[in-house]
Amino acid sequence: MKTCAFCATEIHKNYCAFCEMDLKDRYILNNGERIKNTIDYIPDQSEMFKNTKELKGVPPTFRKFCTLSTF
Ligand SMILES: [Zn+2]
């Protein structure tokens, strides 16, 4: 059974009725699997107010997490 990676609802033709959106292939999983939503890197307090230029040295996973708003 194809299910939404965000809410685990069964989907029909890439559309999740609960989330009310079309899902890209990577967000279509099986039998209620959820997308992994872990943070590999916890920023130091001193980094929280730095601008993007200053954060260029921060690991890519965290930068991706901060800039994506796919929900
Ligand atoms: Zn959903």
Quote the ligand 1 centre to 32 CA distance (angstroms).
10
- The encoded tokens of residue 55 equal 């954060």
What is the pLDDT at residue 53? 79
Which residues fall within 8 angstroms of residue 35, CB to CB, at 6 or more apart? 5, 6, 27, 29
Give 15-51 pLDDT, tens digit per residue: 999 999 999 999 999 999 998 877 777 778 887 888 8
Cα(8) to centroid(ligand 1), Å: 6
**pLDDT-derived band of residue 60, with 50, 70 and 90 as boundaries?**
low
Question: What are the structure tokens assigned to 45, written together?
Answer: 């307090």
pTM over 0.75: no
- Cβ-in-10-Å burial (0-12, 13-18, 19+) of 4 comes to buried
Residue 7 or 58, more confident: 7
With CA atoms as reference, report the closest residue to 55 among 65, 69, 71: 65
